[in-house]
Amino acid sequence: MIFVGKLNNNCKFTFILKQKNQIMKKEDYSQLSMEELTKREKTAKTATIVLGVILALQFLIGLFLTFKQGFSVFTILPITFLPILIINLSTIKKIREEINSRK
């Protein structure tokens, strides 16, 4: 589904909505080769480490800003991204389990 609307006189904006079955797909790691599994594990590890560092920095900056200026959106921003980190960690765990089951 695509919805097009007007933001102002000259600008148009577009919303693209996906069907529910297109949003989340379950990965079947048993169908992948060992090379693909190790590549995905390495990519997931790198993304998780980068995300963790960014979340830690956001947390520290939010804490600093809370003491300086009071409560703001920057205080809760790291908490909103925490589920992504948890999903990445569970993905790494699933990939490792599949790699270990093949050894």
Of 32, 33, 37, 18, the C-alpha closest to 91 is: 37
User: Is the CB of residue 81 less than 8 Å from the CB of residue 51?
Assistant: yes
| pLDDT computed for residue 22 by the predictor | 45
| pLDDT computed for residue 20 by the predictor | 45
| pLDDT computed for residue 86 by the predictor | 94
Whole-number average pLDDT of the chain: 81
Query: 34: which 2 tokens?
Result: 């060992």
Instruction: Count Cα atoms within 13 angstroms, Cβ side, for 87.
Output: 9
Instruction: Give the global pTM.
Output: 0.69
Residue type, 21: N
Q: Which residue has the higher pLDDT, 59 or 74?
A: 59
Asked if pLDDT for residue 51 goes beyond 90, the answer is: yes
